[in-house]
Amino acid sequence: MSKHIIAATVCAMLLGSASARADIIDGSFSGTLYSGNDTTGVFGPPASDLTNDAITGTFVYDTSLFSQSISGSQNTATGTALGALTVTITINGFSHTFTDNSSSSIFLDDSADEVTLQNSNVSGSANENFYLDASDLLTPFINTTDLTQPFSTSDAFLNSTGTFFIDDLAPNVAAGGAFTITTISTTNSTTSAVPEPASLTLLALGFAGIAAGRGRGLRRSSKQRV
Protein backbone atom coordinates (compact mmCIF):
# COMPACT_ATOMS: atom_id res chain seq x y z
CA MET A 1 0.00 0.00 0.00
CA SER A 2 1.43 3.40 -0.99
CA LYS A 3 2.12 6.14 1.51
CA HIS A 4 -0.50 8.27 -0.27
CA ILE A 5 -3.20 5.67 0.35
CA ILE A 6 -2.11 5.14 3.97
CA ALA A 7 -2.24 8.87 4.69
CA ALA A 8 -5.62 9.23 2.99
CA THR A 9 -6.97 6.27 4.95
CA VAL A 10 -5.77 7.74 8.24
CA CYS A 11 -7.43 11.06 7.40
CA ALA A 12 -10.68 9.34 6.49
CA MET A 13 -10.65 7.50 9.82
CA LEU A 14 -10.00 10.74 11.66
CA LEU A 15 -12.76 12.55 9.84
CA GLY A 16 -15.16 9.82 10.84
CA SER A 17 -14.31 10.11 14.54
CA ALA A 18 -13.24 13.73 14.98
CA SER A 19 -16.65 15.25 15.60
CA ALA A 20 -18.70 15.77 18.74
CA ARG A 21 -22.41 16.54 18.65
CA ALA A 22 -23.50 20.12 19.25
CA ASP A 23 -27.22 20.75 19.66
CA ILE A 24 -28.54 24.29 19.23
CA ILE A 25 -31.81 24.58 21.15
CA ASP A 26 -34.38 27.29 20.43
CA GLY A 27 -37.15 28.13 22.87
CA SER A 28 -39.82 30.67 23.72
CA PHE A 29 -41.92 31.83 26.66
CA SER A 30 -44.68 34.31 27.47
CA GLY A 31 -46.12 35.87 30.58
CA THR A 32 -47.33 39.00 32.35
CA LEU A 33 -45.37 41.49 34.43
CA TYR A 34 -46.64 41.86 38.00
CA SER A 35 -44.12 44.61 38.75
CA GLY A 36 -41.59 46.66 36.85
CA ASN A 37 -40.41 50.06 35.74
CA ASP A 38 -38.60 51.44 32.74
CA THR A 39 -36.41 54.32 33.83
CA THR A 40 -34.84 55.35 30.54
CA GLY A 41 -37.26 54.03 27.92
CA VAL A 42 -35.88 50.61 26.98
CA PHE A 43 -39.40 49.33 26.26
CA GLY A 44 -41.19 52.58 25.40
CA PRO A 45 -41.48 56.01 27.02
CA PRO A 46 -39.07 56.76 29.90
CA ALA A 47 -40.34 56.47 33.48
CA SER A 48 -42.99 53.92 32.48
CA ASP A 49 -44.70 51.51 34.88
CA LEU A 50 -44.48 48.03 33.31
CA THR A 51 -46.94 46.41 35.72
CA ASN A 52 -49.56 44.25 33.92
CA ASP A 53 -47.73 44.55 30.58
CA ALA A 54 -47.33 41.39 28.50
CA ILE A 55 -43.85 39.95 28.04
CA THR A 56 -42.69 37.46 25.42
CA GLY A 57 -39.25 36.05 24.95
CA THR A 58 -37.03 33.73 22.97
CA PHE A 59 -33.91 31.91 24.04
CA VAL A 60 -31.22 29.88 22.32
CA TYR A 61 -28.42 27.82 23.80
CA ASP A 62 -25.58 25.69 22.50
CA THR A 63 -25.28 22.44 24.48
CA SER A 64 -21.60 22.09 23.54
CA LEU A 65 -20.85 25.31 25.48
CA PHE A 66 -22.11 23.98 28.82
CA SER A 67 -20.38 21.96 31.51
CA GLN A 68 -23.03 19.57 32.83
CA SER A 69 -23.19 18.08 36.30
CA ILE A 70 -25.87 15.38 36.47
CA SER A 71 -26.80 13.95 39.85
CA GLY A 72 -29.87 11.77 40.05
CA SER A 73 -32.85 13.70 38.68
CA GLN A 74 -30.96 17.00 38.42
CA ASN A 75 -28.69 18.52 35.80
CA THR A 76 -26.85 21.71 36.72
CA ALA A 77 -25.28 23.05 33.51
CA THR A 78 -22.90 26.01 33.57
CA GLY A 79 -21.94 28.05 30.50
CA THR A 80 -18.29 27.80 29.49
CA ALA A 81 -18.06 30.41 26.70
CA LEU A 82 -19.69 33.51 25.29
CA GLY A 83 -22.86 32.58 23.40
CA ALA A 84 -23.79 29.59 25.55
CA LEU A 85 -27.18 31.17 26.31
CA THR A 86 -28.84 34.20 24.71
CA VAL A 87 -32.24 35.56 25.77
CA THR A 88 -34.34 38.23 24.05
CA ILE A 89 -37.43 39.74 25.74
CA THR A 90 -40.07 41.91 24.12
CA ILE A 91 -42.36 44.35 25.96
CA ASN A 92 -44.66 46.86 24.24
CA GLY A 93 -43.10 45.99 20.89
CA PHE A 94 -39.55 46.82 22.05
CA SER A 95 -36.90 44.12 22.45
CA HIS A 96 -33.76 43.72 24.52
CA THR A 97 -31.18 40.92 24.27
CA PHE A 98 -29.23 39.48 27.19
CA THR A 99 -25.92 37.86 26.34
CA ASP A 100 -23.83 35.77 28.71
CA ASN A 101 -20.61 37.78 28.89
CA SER A 102 -19.75 36.51 32.37
CA SER A 103 -21.95 33.52 33.16
CA SER A 104 -25.06 31.57 32.29
CA SER A 105 -26.72 28.43 33.62
CA ILE A 106 -29.49 25.95 32.90
CA PHE A 107 -31.00 23.73 35.58
CA LEU A 108 -33.24 20.73 34.90
CA ASP A 109 -34.99 18.57 37.49
CA ASP A 110 -37.22 15.89 36.02
CA SER A 111 -38.52 14.78 39.44
CA ALA A 112 -39.67 18.30 40.36
CA ASP A 113 -40.53 19.04 36.73
CA GLU A 114 -38.51 22.24 36.75
CA VAL A 115 -36.54 24.32 34.25
CA THR A 116 -34.38 27.27 35.27
CA LEU A 117 -32.58 29.63 32.90
CA GLN A 118 -30.18 32.29 34.12
CA ASN A 119 -28.12 34.73 32.10
CA SER A 120 -25.71 37.30 33.51
CA ASN A 121 -23.67 39.98 31.80
CA VAL A 122 -21.42 42.11 34.01
CA SER A 123 -18.82 43.88 31.90
CA GLY A 124 -17.56 47.45 32.21
CA SER A 125 -20.54 49.67 32.92
CA ALA A 126 -23.05 46.94 32.01
CA ASN A 127 -24.87 45.01 34.68
CA GLU A 128 -27.63 42.79 33.30
CA ASN A 129 -29.37 39.70 34.57
CA PHE A 130 -32.21 37.51 33.40
CA TYR A 131 -33.76 34.69 35.44
CA LEU A 132 -36.62 32.33 34.66
CA ASP A 133 -37.88 29.43 36.77
CA ALA A 134 -40.74 27.26 35.51
CA SER A 135 -42.16 24.24 37.31
CA ASP A 136 -45.43 22.32 37.25
CA LEU A 137 -45.81 19.30 39.51
CA LEU A 138 -49.45 18.75 38.48
CA THR A 139 -48.80 18.41 34.75
CA PRO A 140 -45.21 17.26 34.14
CA PHE A 141 -43.53 18.60 31.01
CA ILE A 142 -39.87 17.69 31.70
CA ASN A 143 -38.98 14.07 30.99
CA THR A 144 -35.22 13.82 31.49
CA THR A 145 -32.16 15.79 32.52
CA ASP A 146 -31.01 15.94 28.88
CA LEU A 147 -30.39 19.52 27.70
CA THR A 148 -31.53 18.55 24.20
CA GLN A 149 -35.01 17.45 25.26
CA PRO A 150 -38.00 19.21 23.66
CA PHE A 151 -40.84 20.38 25.91
CA SER A 152 -43.94 22.54 25.72
CA THR A 153 -46.61 23.55 28.20
CA SER A 154 -49.21 26.25 28.66
CA ASP A 155 -50.59 25.08 32.01
CA ALA A 156 -51.03 27.39 34.95
CA PHE A 157 -47.68 26.82 36.61
CA LEU A 158 -47.01 26.37 40.27
CA ASN A 159 -44.09 28.64 41.27
CA SER A 160 -43.31 29.89 37.78
CA THR A 161 -41.81 33.34 37.64
CA GLY A 162 -39.04 35.35 36.07
CA THR A 163 -37.08 38.54 36.64
CA PHE A 164 -34.86 40.82 34.60
CA PHE A 165 -32.56 43.70 35.39
CA ILE A 166 -30.92 46.08 32.91
CA ASP A 167 -28.43 48.74 33.97
CA ASP A 168 -25.86 50.01 31.50
CA LEU A 169 -24.33 53.44 31.97
CA ALA A 170 -22.66 53.64 28.55
CA PRO A 171 -25.87 53.80 26.47
CA ASN A 172 -27.70 55.03 29.60
CA VAL A 173 -30.38 52.35 29.80
CA ALA A 174 -32.10 51.06 32.91
CA ALA A 175 -35.18 48.89 33.43
CA GLY A 176 -36.29 45.96 35.53
CA GLY A 177 -39.26 43.83 36.40
CA ALA A 178 -40.75 40.54 37.53
CA PHE A 179 -43.27 38.40 35.68
CA THR A 180 -45.33 35.25 35.85
CA ILE A 181 -44.99 32.65 33.09
CA THR A 182 -47.96 31.34 31.11
CA THR A 183 -46.17 29.34 28.40
CA ILE A 184 -42.71 27.92 27.84
CA SER A 185 -41.36 25.58 25.19
CA THR A 186 -38.35 24.51 23.21
CA THR A 187 -39.39 24.73 19.60
CA ASN A 188 -36.62 22.89 17.77
CA SER A 189 -33.06 21.65 17.96
CA THR A 190 -30.43 21.43 15.25
CA THR A 191 -27.39 19.19 15.34
CA SER A 192 -24.00 20.01 13.90
CA ALA A 193 -20.56 18.41 14.05
CA VAL A 194 -17.94 20.11 16.21
CA PRO A 195 -14.36 18.89 15.64
CA GLU A 196 -12.50 18.14 18.83
CA PRO A 197 -9.14 19.99 19.28
CA ALA A 198 -7.10 16.78 19.57
CA SER A 199 -8.71 15.37 16.45
CA LEU A 200 -8.06 18.59 14.57
CA THR A 201 -4.37 18.22 15.38
CA LEU A 202 -4.35 14.65 14.09
CA LEU A 203 -6.16 15.75 10.96
CA ALA A 204 -3.53 18.40 10.33
CA LEU A 205 -0.78 15.80 10.70
CA GLY A 206 -2.60 13.51 8.29
CA PHE A 207 -2.88 16.20 5.66
CA ALA A 208 0.75 17.09 6.19
CA GLY A 209 1.63 13.44 5.53
CA ILE A 210 -0.28 13.52 2.27
CA ALA A 211 1.49 16.71 1.21
CA ALA A 212 4.89 15.27 2.09
CA GLY A 213 4.19 12.07 0.19
CA ARG A 214 3.01 14.00 -2.82
CA GLY A 215 6.19 16.12 -2.73
CA ARG A 216 8.41 13.02 -2.69
CA GLY A 217 6.44 11.56 -5.59
CA LEU A 218 6.96 14.68 -7.64
CA ARG A 219 10.70 14.67 -6.92
CA ARG A 220 11.00 11.04 -8.01
CA SER A 221 9.11 11.76 -11.20
CA SER A 222 11.44 14.67 -11.99
CA LYS A 223 14.54 12.52 -11.47
CA GLN A 224 13.18 9.79 -13.74
CA ARG A 225 12.50 12.29 -16.52
CA VAL A 226 16.06 13.63 -16.23
pLDDT, tens digit, 9 for 90 and up, residues 4-43: 544 444 444 444 444 456 799 999 999 999 999 999 999 9
Q: Please check whether residues 91 and 104 belong to one and the same domain.
A: yes
Cβ 65 vs Cβ 80: under 8 Å: yes
Could you tell me which of 27, 26, 25, 35 has the C-alpha nearest to residue 164? 35
Q: Please check whether residues 179 and 94 belong to one and the same domain.
A: yes
Q: Please check whether residues 142 and 160 belong to one and the same domain.
A: yes
pLDDT of 180 > 60? The answer is: yes
HEC profile of 129-179: EEEEEEECCCCCCCCCCCCCCCCEECCCCCCCEEEEEEEECCCCEEEEEEE
Cβ 175 vs Cβ 36: under 8 Å: yes
Question: What is the pLDDT at residue 211?
Answer: 47
Q: Please check whether residues 165 and 91 belong to one and the same domain.
A: yes
Global pTM value: 0.76
Q: Please check whether residues 126 and 190 belong to one and the same domain.
A: yes
The domain in which residue 79 lies consists of 21-195
Q: Please check whether residues 42 and 132 belong to one and the same domain.
A: yes
HEC profile of 66-90: EEEEEECCEEEEEECCCCCEEEEEE
Number of domains within the chain = 2
Question: What is the pLDDT at residue 90?
Answer: 98
Q: Please check whether residues 86 and 101 belong to one and the same domain.
A: yes
Q: Please check whether residues 182 and 201 belong to one and the same domain.
A: no
Q: Please check whether residues 104 and 211 belong to one and the same domain.
A: no
Question: What is the pLDDT at residue 216?
Answer: 52
Report which of residues 115 and 202 the model is more confident about. Answer: 115
Q: Please check whether residues 13 and 50 belong to one and the same domain.
A: no
Q: Please check whether residues 131 and 159 belong to one and the same domain.
A: yes
Q: Please check whether residues 158 and 129 belong to one and the same domain.
A: yes
